[in-house]
């Protein structure tokens, strides 16, 4: 009975590992929720490149503008492409049935994607597309093999490809994958593209839990209050003990 149990557990673990696909080292996402300019740039990238297919149906334009320090009139003019009023949720206009027909499945809502996947995964994923003519949209992804979406940021990055080097592995010359490089045709350099993806992921991290901005501010205020309270408590203690002695 115990042998059967271990066999079942081994099969489950093996299946889970196969389903997870190959493991790719994740780069650390430079998250900084206090950088309002980064969050604003990330919001701009999302609205211009991602909103056509994805949406954030649990995030309102008004909350985004307020948290990111964007005046509502400017926000509606530059970012509110799908909003009739500032209180609307960030949704796209494409029918889900059409999106499902085009891509094989409706693109997921991205409100909580940073909480589900994690910022490091997203940061690495957005920089891991590469040209693959065997795929329907001509691209694949090192982090998410057989990805079912186009590389919508290719005009910024350029045409990416998997770079390899010939190295000796156990005494045998072998082509080893060393990363993603581009043909240089993009609007941004590699460093600029990485910075843009950091801004986008920073914004997605904020959207996943907007209260983090408030909690950080509140935490600082609480620490300041406790510091002042400690000073007064210490002085009061000295005053009490002076009478005792």
pLDDT digits (tens, 9 = 90+) for 105-164: 889 999 999 999 999 999 999 999 999 999 999 999 999 999 999 999 999 999 999 998
The winner for highest mean pLDDT among 5-9, 48-52, 208-212, 221-225 is 48-52
Q: Which tokens is 123 given?
A: 């940061």
Q: If you search the block for the tokens 């999106």, which residue do you land on?
A: 99
Averaged confidence pLDDT in the chain = 86
pLDDT at 237: 67
188-210 residue pLDDT tens: 999 999 999 999 999 999 999 99
pLDDT at 244: 64
pTM of the model: 0.78
Of residues 243 and 185, the one with the higher pLDDT is 185
Contact yes or no for 128/180 (Cβ under 8 A): yes
Domain ranges of the chain: 23-209, 218-245
pLDDT at 24: 84
62-110 residue pLDDT tens: 999 999 999 999 999 999 999 999 999 999 988 888 888 888 888 999 9
pLDDT at 105: 87
CATH dotted code for 23-209: 1.10.760.10
Kindly report the backbone phi and psi dihedral angles of residue 228, in degrees, each rounded to the nearest multiple of 5, phi listed first.
-65, -40
pLDDT at 15: 39
**Residues 53-67: what's their mean pLDDT?**
96
Round to whole Å and give the CA distance between 220 and 141: 41
pLDDT at 241: 72
Handedness of CA 126, 129, 135, 138 (dihedral sign): positive
């Amino acid at each position: 009975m115990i042998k059967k149990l271990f066999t079942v557990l081994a099969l489950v673990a093996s299946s889970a590992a196969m389903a997870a696909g190959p493991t790719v080292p994740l780069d650390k996402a430079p998250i900084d929720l206090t950088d309002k300019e980064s969050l604003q740039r990330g919001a701009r990238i999302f609205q211009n490149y991602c909103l056509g297919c994805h949406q954030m149906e649990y995030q309102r334009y008004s909350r985004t503008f307020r948290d990111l320090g964007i005046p509502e009139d400017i926000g509606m003019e530059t970012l509110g492409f799908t909003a009739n009023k500032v209180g609307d949720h960030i949704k796209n206009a494409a029918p889900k049935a059409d999106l499902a027909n085009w891509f094989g499945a409706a693109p997921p809502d991205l409100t909580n994607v940073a909480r589900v996947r994690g910022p490091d995964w997203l940061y690495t994923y957005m920089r891991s597309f590469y040209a693959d003519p065997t795929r329907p949209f001509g691209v694949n992804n090192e982090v998410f093999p057989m990805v079912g979406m186009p590389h919508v940021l290719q005009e910024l990055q350029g045409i990416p490809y998997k770079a390899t080097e010939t190295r000796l592995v156990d005494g045998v010359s072998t082509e080893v994958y060393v990363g993603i490089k581009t043909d240089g045709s993009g609007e941004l350099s590699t460093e600029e593209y990485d910075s843009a993806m950091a801004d986008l992921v920073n914004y997605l991290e904020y959207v996943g839990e907007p209260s983090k901005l408030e909690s950080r501010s509140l935490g600082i205020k609480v620490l300041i209050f406790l510091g002042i309270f400690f000073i007064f408590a210490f002085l009061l203690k000295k005053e009490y003990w002076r009478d005792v002695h």
